[in-house]
């Protein structure tokens, strides 16, 4: 019996080692594919007329389904995997073209400010956005969103990355207010999946936790889970990763933080419960801001963000929105905020599809400006790549 158990254990070890080796080879193959894409695209930067060839992609997917079926792999799974691979390739080519056309192609290092400390979701978004395009990405954390934005203004960093909306908790008003008052330009966006975890210095039963720290947005996104912990005190903290850092430093088993699995790894905390957000599909959209705007090639799908203030009269906003409809401009976001130093008056933040350099969009926004008492273009930038 002992021999059979030993043989079974050895077989399991054999297969696990083989899977580990195959996983390593998969990563190496993906890396080789990406280097090939980089080489291919660098040779056509001066005449990059076709970043995305939908017909070629359609043919590729047909071949992938056939190859998968022949190899005994689920064709649907293989197709979905390659859709993600292609999206990543398009994303790289999009921002490489933007960098090249805005004379940033030769720059190999970049400094990015964010709110929080290492391990914060903003830190992860910054790395996600820049790491593939630059040899060195230096991320510098600040206590507040305003300090992160001011670091760009003061030329301490090249970019700041700021969260602007979440699918569970809604808009992040501090960022909207900063964009309205600062002389900064949105030059990109990043959307990341937010997975909140409850973590403590060691293993502890959930019912024995008495204090939970996290950022107010994370607390709002996990409100249902927290409502089932009546004996816990929930306290706002500057940032999710800062909360994790504090819990590590205090080393109090009755104290926990809500942060990412990455933060738990960084600060050597034990995850007590995973995926505690109200909605499993929990995403945060970040905007990337810089001192100068970018010009975006016409072939790249763009989003333009702006802020307007309307006359203080009946139907003023409807008249402004009608202008967009008449010019065929699709609005994807509308957010109202109080207008500074103008009690009971409001300014409106809009996201529209289209490039500011497109004549149709340009004409429509010019007319919109004529019907507004104030208008400011916040930026025209590549949309998050579609799959």
**What is each CA distance from 332 to 18, 37, 302, 306, 355, in whole angstroms?**
47, 32, 12, 12, 14
In the chain, which ranges are continuous DSSP H helix?
2-42, 54-71, 75-101, 121-130, 145-153, 173-181, 216-221, 223-227, 240-250, 261-266, 316-326, 359-370
Contacts of 171 (CB under 8 A, 6+ apart): 164, 165, 335
**What is each CA distance from 293 to 158, 195, 356, 359, in whole angstroms?**
12, 32, 11, 18
- Strand 270-273 relative to strand 346-353, pairing: unpaired
Contacts of 62 (CB under 8 A, 6+ apart): none
Q: CB–CB of 50/299 below 8 Å? A: yes
Instruction: State the Cα–Cα distance between residues 280 and 106, nearest whole angstrom.
Output: 40
Q: Could you give the residue numbers annotated as active site? A: 284, 286
């Amino acid at each position: 019996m002992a021999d059979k158990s030993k043989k079974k254990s050895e077989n399991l070890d054999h297969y696990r080692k083989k899977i580990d080796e195959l996983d390593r080879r998969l990563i190496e193959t993906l890396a080789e594919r990406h280097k090939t894409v980089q080489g291919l695209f660098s040779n056509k930067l001066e005449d990059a007329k076709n970043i995305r060839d939908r017909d070629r992609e359609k043919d590729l997917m047909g071949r992938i389904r056939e190859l998968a079926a022949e190899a005994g792999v689920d064709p649907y799974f293989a197709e979905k995997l390659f859709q993600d691979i292609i999206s990543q390739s398009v994303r790289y080519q999009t921002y490489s073209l933007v960098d090249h056309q805005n004379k940033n192609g030769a720059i190999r290092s970049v400094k990015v400010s964010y709110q929080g400390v290492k391990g914060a979701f903003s830190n992860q978004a910054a790395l996600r956005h820049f790491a593939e395009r630059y040899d060195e990405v230096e991320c510098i954390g600040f206590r507040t969103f305003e300090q992160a934005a001011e670091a760009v203004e003061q030329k301490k960093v090249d970019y700041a990355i700021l969260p602007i909306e979440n699918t569970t908790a809604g808009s992040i008003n501090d960022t909207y207010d900063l964009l309205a008052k600062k002389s900064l330009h949105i030059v990109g966006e990043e959307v990341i999946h937010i997975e909140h975890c409850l973590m403590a210095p060691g293993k502890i039963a959930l019912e024995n936790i008495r204090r939970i720290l996290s950022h107010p947005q994370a607390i709002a996104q996990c409100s249902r889970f927290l409502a089932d912990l009546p004996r816990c005190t929930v306290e706002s903290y500057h940032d999710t990763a800062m909360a994790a850092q504090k819990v590590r430093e205090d080393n109090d088993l009755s104290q926990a933080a809500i942060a990412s699995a990455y933060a738990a790894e960084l600060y050597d905390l034990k995850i007590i419960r995973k995926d505690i957000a109200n909605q499993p599909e929990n995403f945060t959209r970040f905007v990337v801001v810089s001192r100068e705007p970018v010009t975006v090639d016409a072939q790249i799908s763009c989003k333009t963000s702006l802020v307007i203030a309307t006359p203080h009269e009946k139907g003023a906003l409807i008249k402004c929105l009608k202008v967009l409809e008449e010019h065929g401009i699709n609005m994807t976001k509308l957010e109202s905020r109080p207008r500074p130093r103008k009690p009971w008056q409001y300014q409106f933040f809009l996201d529209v599809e289209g490039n500011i350099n497109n004549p149709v969009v340009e004409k429509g926004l010019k007319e919109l400006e004529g019907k507004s008492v104030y208008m400011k273009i916040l930026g025209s930038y590549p949309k998050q790549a579609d799959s």
